[in-house]
Amino acid sequence: MQTFMLFIGVIILVIGVKLIYDARILVNKYFSVSNHNGAVLFLKILGTLCAICGAILISKNWGAIIN
């Protein structure tokens, strides 16, 4: 179970980092909003929260890899 949670943490972390770095590209490609800067800011904040949650999951389940 710890290995599964570690894997989920890595996936959430990667999604968060992808949202942070490609927010403007994703907004231009998938969303048709008039306020692009607000949508980019929302995606970057969402990516930051995902990255933090993924990092917490990784740190809590790191013992599965070490042991």
pLDDT of the residue at 64: 65
Q: Does the model's pTM come out above 0.75?
A: yes
pLDDT in tens, the chain (67 residues): 888 888 999 999 999 999 999 999 999 888 887 888 889 999 999 999 999 999 999 998 887 666 6
CB count in 10 Å sphere of residue 38: 11
pLDDT of the residue at 2: 80
pLDDT of the residue at 1: 80
